[in-house]
Amino acid sequence: MDEITCKQLVELVTPYLEDALDEPTLDLLEEHLVMCDWCVDYLEQIRATIGALRTMPAEPVPARLREALAGVLREAG
Amino acid sequence: MTAYKFLRSGAVGPFSGFRWPRPRGSAAGPWVEAVGAPVRCRRGVHACHVDHLPWWLADELWELELAGEVVAYPHKLAAPRGRLVRRIDGWTTAARREYVHACAWRSRDRAVEAADAAAAERLAGCATLEALEEAARELAGTVPQGRIALTMAADGAQAAIAELPAMGAYVAARAARHAGGEAAMDAERRWQAAWLVQRLGLSAG
């Protein structure tokens, strides 16, 4: 891979924001951001969304959902 | 060693958001030091040799002094310490425009070489970027020969009209690769770097 497309960047935004990309991929992603204002806007929107969600109060998990999730996790081992 | 760095307006790192301390008067700015050895993209002072500049175009161009062990990567340098020495005043709105226009016309020239005679003549006769974008876009949709090169010429013109130098440089590099492979793309990037060196009086080091 010698470049990252807009479509690929969308897939890589989460690991980018979590600082989980390997250096060569990070390099290519940053090169893309230099020249693509659309992806810069997209990244800023994701950052803003994450920031907004952090300000929301935590909601209690409904009992049925908690049980269903626990069941899935048990089955997954 | 002397190096260069593109920053956002206000001497702000484009990815780190770090606000670089600027020089005062004729003295260089204070040293900025990374904690620990440089790690590509993650830690350390990242900067450019002149050959790297076309990949990182941004609002402001600064000359830096790097100290410590400087590590070279394909398109960047990283060092444990650096400081801003001076802003390159020549990297103005007018220079950015001139640069991206030059890139667009070079992308046009690639399309002229790839297209059939009639399309080539029409492209060669375009006197403005607007005319170039319109003609290249139309021809790309109707003329099979050189369709990709024509699309790239249209994209290059669009980047120039929108004054997006990094995009225009990228398109020109890709147009070169489409025409002549990796060697042509490398040569195009070298041409872009040489343009900056010559126009802005940079030290090619």
- B64-92 pLDDT tens trace: 999 999 999 889 999 999 999 999 999 99
Q: Domain of residue A63: give its range.
A: 6-76
| Residues of chain A with C-beta less than 8 angstroms from the C-beta of B42 | 19, 23, 26
Q: Strand B81-87's sheet: what is its strand order?
A: B2-7, B60-67, B81-87, B32-33
Residues 6+ apart with CB under 8 A from B183: none
Provide the shortest C-alpha distance from residue B14 to chain A (in Å). Answer: 8
Q: What is the mean pLDDT of residues B16-30?
A: 93
Best mutation target among A1, A26, A30 (most B Cβ atoms within 10 Å) is A30
Residue A40 lies in a domain: yes
Tens digit of pLDDT for each residue in B151-162? 999 999 999 999
Contact at CB, B42 and A26, closer than 8 angstroms: yes
The residue whose two tokens read 């100290």 is: B67
The CA–CA distances, whole Å, from A67 to A74, A77, B120, B182 equal 10, 15, 68, 57
Query: Residue A67: which H helix or E strand, with range?
Result: helix A63-76
pLDDT digits (tens, 9 = 90+) for B28-78: 999 999 887 777 767 789 999 999 999 999 999 999 999 999 999 889 999
Nearest to B166 among A26, A27, A35 (CB): A35
Any domain includes A67: yes
Cα atoms in the Cβ-side hemisphere of radius 13 Å centred on A23: 11
Structurally, chain A folds into a number of domains equal to 1
Interface of A with B (CB under 8 A): 19, 23, 26-27, 30-31, 33-37
Minimal CA separation from A58 to chain B, in Å: 30
State the Cα–Cα distance between residues B189 and B170, nearest whole angstrom.
9
Residues in chain A closer than 8 A to B55 (CB atoms):
31, 34
Neighbours of A42 (CB within 10 A): 16
pLDDT tens digits, residue range A25-57? 999 999 999 999 999 999 999 999 999 999 999
pTM value is 0.88
Short-list B103, B168, B157, CA closest to B129: B157
**Domain assignment present for A1:** no
